[in-house]
Amino acid sequence: MSVMEDLDALEARAKEMIATATTADALNQARVALLGRKGEITALMHMMGKVAPEERPTLGKRANELRRMAESMIEERGANLKRAAMRELMATEAVDITLPGVRPKIGHQHLINQIIEEIEDVFCGIGYTVEGGPQVETTWCNFTALNAPMDHPSRSARDSFYIVDNAPGSVDHPEEHAHGESDVLLRTQTSGVQVRTMLAHKPPIYMIAPGTVYRPDTPDACHLPQFNQIEGLVVDRGITFGDLKGTLDYFVKCMFGPDRKTRYRPHFFPFTEPSCEVDVSCGVCHGEGCAFCKHSGWIEILGCGMVDPNVLINCGIDPDEYSGFAFGAGVERIAALRYDLPDLRTLMTGDMRFLEQF
């Protein structure tokens, strides 16, 4: 076989090797086998010295053509393989960056906290401070210092959640046990913060105290075993019932609107004397009487009164020098009145369809 025939066969083989390489690796192997240091085409170039001088130009030209052909075929095949690989990637791993993203859900304050903040704004605006106290409270702060007699029904285990601590070394005050339970309980009212504030600060005191309270009530449309109150306390020189009325009228108008009226009904609380319950004129019938206000035209919203001198004495304040008023309102109740909520229990569920309305 002549050298020329060898070259034709080599050309055919080279074309075949390059065309059938389906990966970058396979193509590289073909390149090494043809054009590498020990490749077939390289070997052909080295052979040139051994052929007869008259054959050299034709043969040399043919060998060079073969080398250039192989080089350009490899380059083109490489580019094709790269394009195919990219097309494959685009088809399998493409991310459409123009699609809208997943928006994180941003929550908002619970209605009860919104109302607490609103009430804080009203009272901070007239110079009050916001105080707090523990939810696990002593019976002394929750009842005794507030002038509640030892046999007051609210002290009963049926009306308070007592916390019994039998741990060795725990300090107990049996004289505080009205019904043989314990001297520690989940506070049943925020009124204990009055005591803590008076013990911690000298008058003048102008404060409110929002917070959670607990009572062993079965939940129904109007009762929750855990709910929130806002307490208020003013102690200063010369405070009168007129100050109480003026302040609470202002508060009611801020919360329910300027056209709402208030009514003060005599009542009894151990820690105030005199004591009242405050009604606000019904927002549904404007005082005419309707099902919402049980046809009375009025809705009860809070308890209040002039601080009993015994409470001031229990907290180290001289009742001859100072007088004061106090009030306590249920936050859930205010929410229910504002938004006509038929069932307080909805406030305790996590039902977003309800909560998102506020």
Residues that bind ligand DAH (CB under 6 A): 189, 191, 231, 269, 272, 303-305, 326-328
Q: In this complex, which beta carbon is closest to ligand DAH, that of residue 39 or of residue 324?
A: 324
Closest distance to ligand DAH from the beta carbon of 207 (Å): 11
SS3 category, 233: strand
Whole-angstrom Cα distance, residue 252 to residue 273? 22
Closest distance to ligand DAH from the beta carbon of 231 (Å): 5
Q: In this complex, which beta carbon is closest to ligand DAH, that of residue 228 or of residue 272?
A: 272
Q: Which two tokens stand for residue 273?
A: 């004397």
Looking at the DSSP assignment, which residues form a beta bridge with residue 205? 235
Looking at the DSSP assignment, which residues form a beta bridge with residue 263? 279
Strands 272-281 and 262-269, by their bridges, are antiparallel
Closest distance to ligand DAH from the beta carbon of 276 (Å): 8
Which residue of this chain has its Cβ atom nearest to ligand DAH in the complex? 328
SS3 category, 352: helix
Closest distance to ligand DAH from the beta carbon of 113 (Å): 20
175 close to 143: Cβ distance less than 8 angstroms: no
Closest distance to ligand DAH from the beta carbon of 324 (Å): 10
Q: In this complex, which beta carbon is closest to ligand DAH, that of residue 133 or of residue 305?
A: 305
Amino acid at position 164, single letter: V
Closest distance to ligand DAH from the beta carbon of 348 (Å): 19
- What does each C-alpha distance from 290 to 19, 249, 280, 355 come to in angstroms? 93, 23, 14, 27
Closest distance to ligand DAH from the beta carbon of 302 (Å): 7
Whole-angstrom Cα distance, residue 275 to residue 117? 27
Q: In this complex, which beta carbon is closest to ligand DAH, that of residue 42 or of residue 129?
A: 129
Q: Which two tokens stand for residue 339?
A: 């938004």
Q: Is the peptide bond before 342 cis (omega within 30 degrees of 0)?
A: no
Q: In this complex, which beta carbon is closest to ligand DAH, that of residue 191 or of residue 281?
A: 191
Amino acid at position 91, single letter: A
Any idea what the Cα angle at residue 233 is, between residues 232 and 234, rounded to 5°? 135
Q: In this complex, which beta carbon is closest to ligand DAH, that of residue 228 or of residue 281?
A: 228
Amino acid at position 118, single letter: E
> 3-state DSSP: the chain helix, strand, coil percent, rounded to 5?
45, 20, 40
Closest distance to ligand DAH from the beta carbon of 290 (Å): 26
Q: In this complex, which beta carbon is closest to ligand DAH, that of residue 283 or of residue 303?
A: 303
Q: In this complex, which beta carbon is closest to ligand DAH, that of residue 30 or of residue 337?
A: 337
Whole-angstrom Cα distance, residue 272 to residue 287? 28
SS3 category, 230: strand
Q: In this complex, which beta carbon is closest to ligand DAH, that of residue 283 or of residue 305?
A: 305
Closest distance to ligand DAH from the beta carbon of 291 (Å): 25
Closest distance to ligand DAH from the beta carbon of 124 (Å): 19
Amino acid at position 37, single letter: R
Whole-angstrom Cα distance, residue 261 to residue 286? 9
Residues 6 or more apart whose Cβ sits within 8 Å of residue 37: none
Q: In this complex, which beta carbon is closest to ligand DAH, that of residue 211 or of residue 328?
A: 328
